[in-house]
Structure 1
Amino acid sequence: MSQPLDLSRFPDLPPEVVAAFAAQHEALEAARFEASVERAARQHEQAVVAEKEAFIAELKELVVTLEGQIQQYRRAKFGPKSEKLDPAQLDLALEDLETAIAETEARIAAVEEKIAASTLDPEKKARRKPRKARALPEGLPHVERVVEPDSIACPCGCGDMVRIGEDRSKRLDCIPARYQVIVTVRPRYACPKGRAGVVQAKAPAHLLEGSWPTEALLAQIAVAKHSEHMPLNRQSLVMARHGVPIDRSVLADWMGRTGALIAPVVERMTVLLKTGGTRLYVDETTAPVLDPGRGKTKTGYLWAVLRDDRGWGGPAPPGVVFHYRPGRAGENADEILDGFDGTIQVDAYGGYTHLAKPDRKGGKPLALAFCWSHGRRKLIAARPKAGSPIVDEALARIAALYRIEAAIRGKDAGLRRTIRQEQSRPLVDKFFAWLAAQADRTSRKSDLGKALHYMLRRQDGFRLFLDDGHVDMDSNLVENAIRSPAMNRRNALFAGHDEGGRNWARFASLIGTCKLNDVEPYAYLRDLFTSIATGHLDKDIDALMPWAYAAATKTSQ
């Protein structure tokens, strides 16, 4: 910066000249200051723009990543490969994809906040939109924590400020599991003069006499294993972490003895399911079992028999019973369905075919309603990588039938049959005529040819739903019920013995039926174990069914 001219060296200058020189110098300094300010502002603006451009580039990259993840999620959930995945595998894949999507969305939100913070004009700064509030489950206990200011003294000196309102926010908390020992004390009383005997209350009944666990603890262990798929060895580790070191073998002993005590309830439920309606769903899934003699596992099976008449508004409550059998042979189906007459909804497994023959053992010939979802999956699995117009057309025709089904779900059986006769039958007739034409020009040895003939050879079973409003188009309900035992199998790997497989089946039956009736499994099992301990099993076993428990719970509320 230049120094001002020293006018003291020119004492003879007129005052007006001195004033002019001073004014000129001030104007020059002001201009220089404004230029420096403008230069600094321009540099700051350039830095902000560069920062925003970097943020925007990062944001664009994250958006591309998010779009790719969403496409992967859609392909995993709705694409052809999802039909080939085990439901448990699909859930695990979707879980990880949903986690990745949530992480990317959080990073995008953080970058958007940085962009807003770097905006030059404060008026244009956009606040981040709050996440949509989710309703917490009703019935949870609420603990209020009031956060007061450090001081409510008014700055004006008039005294304390007056409360005019409040803000409330809710967060979900968890109290870790706490184990406790219940000490039962039974005082003894006697006559002080020795004229009478001793009085003492009877000891409370326990499900497992002479053992530590309460009925509540047994219910927790059973639900953790058979509903939340936590094997006993992992539960033992968790209990040790909470200060209760109980060996896995002890837990297994408790579950084995408990499983034997609930067997009559499951057996009675089996009878009620087979006698309470004219249509059942039947399916089977593998249950690996350890074969000690060979040191390997053998393949056992859990056969599921499910009743659910809600699709046509039937009065019978839903229920499912799992039967463990060491094999998949058709005689197992004979035994399990002994005494049932009516229709079974199944896949096209050959082990059910003989049940429809006149010489069927255990009752009249059964009607076999085949599952359209299985036929659809066969077509999807046969579709070449390059695509197939035949498969696409077949799926579109099947989708039209499912749209009709969605509209009549829950309607009276007679109305369902009428609508199917009017709307679905013409579509089914055209579908199989078209399918036959496509099969004639497709090699039987190809995957597509096999898929087409799979449905053509079984079209009587695929058509059965048209003539009976009680029947559904598919057996998806029983497949959904089988998912829970399948997840248990995935986590526990195998049952240690055939009796272990039967134990699995009993607990899976009770818990699966609880879920169908919107009953909390832990509460049901806890109360069931208490009822069995007090002898209710011999008084009224039908009152111990999960659907009876559901009705009693609703009545008491």
Structure 2
Amino acid sequence: MTQPQPADLQNLTPDQLREMVLQLRGTVAQRDASIQKLETHNDKLTHELAQLRRHRFGKRSEGMDKQQLALLDALVDEDIAAIEAELETLSPKATEQRERKRAKRQPLPKDLPRTDIYHEPENTSCSCGCALTRIGEDISEKLDYQPGTFSVERHIRGKWCCRDCDSLIQAPVAPHIIDKGIPTTNLLAQVLISKYADHLPLHRQEQQFARAGVVIPRSTLAGWVGRCGVELQPLIDALRDTLLKEAVLHADETPVLMLAPGKKRTHKAYVWAYASTRYSAIQGVVYDFQPGRAGQAARDFLADWRGKLVCDDYGGYKEGFANGITELGCWAHARRKFHDLHVANKSQIAEQALGYIKDLYRIERDLAELTPEERQQQRQKKSKPIIDQLHHWLIARRQQVPDGSGTARAIDYSLKRWEALVRYLDDGAVPIDNNWVENQFRPWALGRSNWLFAGSLRSGQRAANIMTLIQSAKINGLEPQAYLKGVIERLPTQKASKIAELLPHNWTVQSAVSG
């Protein structure tokens, strides 16, 4: 709001003065509300940090073996680092105090090979017209890693001085995702890929690095992971916003075990996955870690989205369907009911149903390379007659089998969801099943033993976020470590308004332009 000049106040009417006072009160109230919100968030983080530190440095649980403790302690250290990173943005003074208390880092081993990288000013002429003289340099070292081998990058920043006017010029310190940290972006990407793609816990990475000649405590590795998780969050938010612009999405969920600090028993948490279809121009998946399977998780993620959702028959999606989301059934789930029935007792009805569904999938394979419009036309021509025949056949067979039998249950699954199952016929951009997003859970299944101790909602979501980027990179044909390295390099200088340029589906074009 533009404030009037003091001289204008004498000419304001009482109504204008009253309006100005109300506007000022509103501005002050908004400011106070923002301050209160920040203070509340700061207090919450500080309390969470204190709890984590009590667990980390308190009495060890007798119910855990050494490996279990190593997994959980690493996750706690990651959470501590992540919270400290958030607090840095809320309280700069507290950051300065932590920097003063932080122990001076140890020099890197002298026997490691070193590469000198010079950073000099673009112009060595002073503004007064004199030539600058190089009078010294600052050297900082960063630890790099290629599988099995460590090396050191020596960043040398020359100091240039003008003898006449005493001005000093030096190339600025290159921005880094971890300010004053020793790891190169390549080493950070290596740690993330090892943990979240190769399923190698931090205590094993610590052992691996020690064999290569450098001791990096797992607490240090955990700090790097926690900080990276916070810094990468804007990319996850941007990818979620991008997917929610799609007209068709897949959704599914899978359980993982979670053990919060201070607890003795695990409980079942869930990872939800939301993905664009294989027919979409934008390819990506977003994982959302939640403490349970309540349908509120899907409602919160999808929010105001009102597209077409391919999913299974889980009731958690039903409220969304009642509020404008269109339900799309999964023929793979329908087929599975008959397949299980056939495996169990060689049912002839199940065998016939599988034959019908096999014909539908054969048609889909032939239509894979067509445009959505062409695919829709061919579905109406080739698939719809089979669908109609199957529907009549299922109704007739259902009347011949007793209620409660395995055959009745398999038939009922399809008939009750028939409207959702056949909607794919009317839209060529819609897939026949939900298999695409189910396949995106394979990385979680492969590393399930390492997700046993999600530790907290924070650590679970961090895993979900980093695996979102890794899996989306794979879907787009990118090498995940090279992609993460490039993202980590650019993130410190990337404008918030252009963060989408760093998303996997945009990376090929972006990297070509920059490379």
TM-score normalised to structure 1 length: 0.64
CA contact (8 A) 2:372 2:429 kept: yes
CA distance in 1, matches of 2:296, 2:418: 25
Residue 300 of structure 1 aligns to which amino acid in structure 2? Answer: A
Counterpart among 187, 196, 202 of residue 166 in structure 2: 196
Q: Partners in 2 of 1:480 and 1:228 — Cα distance?
A: 17
Aligned residues of 1:289 and 1:494 also touching (Cα < 8 A)? yes
* Pairing partner for 2:315 from 315, 335, 350: 350
**Superposition pairs of residues 187-266 of structure 1, within 5 angstroms:** 187-192=158-163, 195-266=165-236
2-side partners of 1:420 and 1:438: how far apart? 25
1:145 paired residue number: none
3-state SS, counterpart of residue 253 of structure 2: strand
1:209-252 Cα distance to aligned partner (Å, 9 max, x none): 13221111111111122222222222222111111222222211
Q: CA deviation at 1:260?
A: 0.5
Give the secondary structure class of the aligned counterpart of 1:262: helix
Q: Label 1:338 to 1:492 Cα distance change in 2 as closer, same or farther (>3 A).
A: closer
CA distance in 2, matches of 1:182, 1:417: 56
Conserved 8 A contact 2:251-2:309? yes
SS state of the match for residue 368, structure 1? strand
The 3-state SS of whatever aligns with 2:150 is coil
- 1:20-169 alignment to 2 at 5 Å? none
* Aligned twin of 2:403: 444
Q: Aligned AA for 1:484?
A: P
Kindly indicate whether residue 253 of structure 2 is the aligned counterpart of residue 295 of structure 1.
no
Q: Is the 8 A contact 2:487 2:502 kept in 1?
A: yes
Report the Cα distance in structure 2 between the residues aligned to 1:434 and 1:247, rounded to whole angstroms. 65
Identity of aligned residues (%): 34
Structure number with bigger Rg = 1
8 A Cα contact 1:223 1:521, kept in partner: yes
442-451 or 230-239, larger mean C-alpha shift:
442-451
* Equivalence for 1:482: 441
Q: Using the TM superposition, give the Cα deviation of residue 262 of structure 1 relative to its aligned residue in structure 2, in angstroms.
A: 0.6
- Name the aligned partner's letter for residue 264 of structure 2: G
Deviation at 1:555, TM superposition (A): 6.0
- Contact kept, 8 Å, 1:282 with 1:344, in 2: the verdict is yes
Residue in structure 2 matching 1:326, options 288, 291, 301: 291
Indicate yes or no: 2:389 matched with 1:430. Answer: yes
Following superposition, the deviation at residue 291 of structure 1 comes to 2.4
2:370 aligned partner: 411
Q: Give the match's secondary structure for 1:280.
A: strand
Q: How does 1:340-419 map to 2 (within 5 A)?
A: 340-357=305-322, 360=323, 365-383=324-342, 385-419=344-378
The CA distance in 2 between the partners of 1:519 and 1:544, in whole Å, is 13
Query: Where does residue 466 of structure 2 map in the other structure?
Result: 507
> What do residues 158-198 of structure 1 show as CA deviations (whole Å, max 9, x unaligned)?
xxxxxxxxxxxxxxxxx9521112222223233456x4132
Question: For residue 295 of structure 1, what is the amino acid of its counterpart?
Answer: K
Distance 2:205 2:329 in 1: 41
Q: Name the amino acid aligned to 2:449.
A: R
Name the SS for the 1:180 alignment partner.
strand
Number of corresponding residues: 370
Counterpart secondary structure, 1:271: helix
Residue of structure 2 in register with 1:306 after alignment: 275
User: How far has the Cα of 1:525 moved from its partner?
Assistant: 0.8
Deviations, residues 496-527 of structure 1 (Å, cap 9, x unaligned):
21101110111111111111111111111111
Cα distance in 2 between the residues matched to 1:494 and 1:267: 25
Shift of 1:384: 5.2
- Is 1:468 equivalent to 2:465 in the alignment? no
Unmatched segments (≥5 aa) in structure 2: 1-145
- Alignment counterpart, residue 177 of structure 1, candidates 135, 144, 148: 148
- Structure 1, gaps ≥5 residues long: 1-174
Closer, same or farther: CA 399–525 of 1 in aligned 2, 3 Å: same
Quick check: 1:383–1:448 contact (8 Å CA) kept in 2? no
| Structure 1 residue aligned with 2:83 | none
Secondary structure of 1:283's partner? strand
Query: What whole-Å deviation, never above 9, does each CA across 1:71-129 have from its counterpart, x for those lacking one?
Result: xxxxxxxxxxxxxxxxxxxxxxxxxxxxxxxxxxxxxxxxxxxxxxxxxxxxxxxxxxx
SS at match of 2:366: helix
Q: Distance in 2 between matches of 1:539 and 1:342?
A: 26
Amino acid in the other structure paired with 2:155: T
Q: Report the Cα distance in structure 2 between the residues aligned to 1:384 and 1:351, rounded to whole angstroms.
A: 30
Alignment match of 1:547 (pick from 485, 502, 505): 505
Counterpart contact for 2:260–2:454, Cα < 8 Å: no
Structure 2 CA distance for partners of 1:494 and 1:377, relative to 1, 3 Å: farther
Cα distance in 1 for residues equivalent to 2:196 and 2:374: 39
What is the aligned-residue RMSD (CA, Å)?
1.9
Q: Which amino acid aligns with 2:255?
A: T
Letter in 1 for 2:360: L
Distance in 2 (alpha carbons) for counterparts of 1:399 and 1:554: 43
User: 2:260–2:453: 8 Å Cα contact kept in structure 1?
Assistant: no
Whole-angstrom CA distance in 2 between matches of 1:220 and 1:401 = 44
3-state SS of paired residue (1:206): coil
Return closer, same or farther for 1:216/1:328 CA change in 2, 3 Å cut-off: same
Structure 1 residues 300 and 382 mapped into 2: Cα distance closer, same or farther (>3 Å)? same
Say whether the 8 Å CA contact 1:285–1:486 is kept in structure 2: no
CA distance in 2 between partners of 1:556 and 1:263 (Å): 23
**Structure 1: how far apart are the matches of 2:508 and 2:337?**
39
Which region of structure 1 is more displaced relative to structure 2, 183-192 or 467-476?
183-192
Q: What is residue 270 of structure 1 aligned with on the other side?
A: 240
Cα drift, residue 448 of structure 1? 2.8
CA drift at 1:386: 4.1
When residues 354 and 219 of structure 1 are mapped into structure 2, their CA distance, relative to the original with a 3 A threshold, is same
Give the Cα separation in 1 of the matches to 2:221 and 2:403. 54
**CA distance in structure 1 between the partners assigned to 2:294 and 2:495 by the alignment:** 34
Question: What letter matches 1:370 in structure 2?
Answer: G
Q: SS at 1:444's partner residue? A: coil
Conserved 8 A contact 1:378-1:451: yes
